[in-house]
Amino acid sequence: MTAGQNPGAGSLAGIRVIEIGTSVAAPMAAQILGDMGADVVKVERLGTGDDSRSWAPPHWDSTSVTYLSLNRSKRSLVLDFKQEAGRAVLQRLIEQSDVLIQNLRPGALAKSGFSVERVRELNPRLIYCELTGFGASGPEAGRPAYDPLVQAYSGMVSMTGEDGRPPARVPVSVLDIGTGMWAALSVYEALRRRDQTGQGSHVELSLLQTAVTWMAPTLMSVLAGNPAPKRLGSGLAGVVPYGAFPASDSWVFISAGNDQAWQRMCSALEAPALTTEEAFSTNASRVSHRQEVTAALSLITQRLTSAEILARLTVAAVPCSPVHTVDEVARDEQVLATGALRSLPREDIPGLTVVNPPMTFDGEYPAFDIPPPALGADSVAVLRDLGVTDDEIAHLIAMGVVEAKDAESLARSTSERSTP
């Protein structure tokens, strides 16, 4: 079994993945593969490591929560591959691995001597997965990017928020995380292709392409000659009522997706006057009179508590939901019942809880058991796996090519060998 492999894990047991990544997209992709059993070696720069290690607050026992959420099921190797000795180590790692995922600035890895062509010379079976902001070609191809920038570029931001107010991004890294998901799926496809051909692949993804994919229905609507969508807040273009409505104590999301649901909703809320308004009689007419419907319904909902609204609409089989805050989600009975949260303690973070990937197999979540590593926690172990001797490792550390949190165990081992 490969060192660092998750015992009893999924179908990627025995596959080694190199992650030369930072921030969100590449770490997310590699974490998914690690959860499925791959041995993921996270190659990090000296001193600081992944950028997300410094994205704090929020902290969990002095460690960045963002880093912790994206980097379980991995081992951390701190390596300066801009130095010749470091390049030799990375070359050896590439030669002995199955997948390389990277999201450095476009061209950065090639400048260090590891272009796509060179990497595939070193290991023709390697799957080289490259993540960028704007894609491999075109006038914006070389631009670095962050999730909200591409949200804005793709038109996503133009659809969020409400008319008359500033544009608003989706406050979750939907493009980074989505690109990481697509990357993991692409690696699976590339591995299946390698099973058939014996050859690796060069896989390319970008945040922009992910954004365009998420926007497919909207883009196709525009291509069909329809106008660009208006900003509707929590609303939906083709259905009214659909969105967040005020209660006396908070907000409730209501979706009356057809005329029958509208009638049941009005009855449950004891609002028969709404059903007699000719302008409100069909969904098409309600869409044409969106503001009037929203105002009239809001006057009714704001007189009731959220619990009263939810209870009435649930009995009436009208789709509805509380608008939870994130702290409410963390203790929600349904969320907990799904097993979405699980304990994955680390020595210095004994209470660490992580979010499971959103799938089970025969009722069980993937059996990952490796918490997010401290910076350089596995440098010595990874180098030993590659056949680097302890004396060579000690020399690499002394030269400043490798940084190792586990250097003390190396020193003890070297001392024990030298003691007569």
Equal fold, 16-214+338-403 vs 242-246+251-322: no
Which CATH architecture fits 16-214+338-403? 3-Layer(aba) Sandwich (3.40)
Distance CA 382, CA 411 (A): 16
Known catalytic residues are 176
Question: Can you give the pLDDT at residue 144?
Answer: 84
The CATH number of 242-246+251-322 is 3.30.1540.10
Residue 343 phi, psi dihedral angles, 5° rounding = -80, 135
pLDDT digits (tens, 9 = 90+) for 329-359: 999 999 999 999 999 999 999 999 999 999 9
pLDDT digits (tens, 9 = 90+) for 3-38: 444 444 689 999 999 999 999 999 999 999 999 999
Is the pLDDT at 420 greater than 70? The verdict is: no
Per the prediction, the chain carries an average pLDDT of 93
* Residue pointed to by tokens 């104590």: 249
Distance CA 87, CA 322 (A): 54
Distance CA 26, CA 141 (A): 18
CB-count burial class (<10 Å; 0-12, 13-18, 19+) for 407: middle
Helices 207-214 and 174-197 meet at what angle, rounded to 10? 100
SS3 state at 400: coil
The residues spanned by each domain of the chain are 16-214+338-403, 242-246+251-322
Question: Is the distance from CB of 120 to CB of 128 less than 8 angstroms?
Answer: yes
pLDDT band at 164 (very low <50, low <70, confident <90, very high): confident
* Residues forming a β-bridge with 298: none
DSSP state letters, 234-252: T-BTTBSSEEEEE-SSSEE
Distance CA 170, CA 154 (A): 12
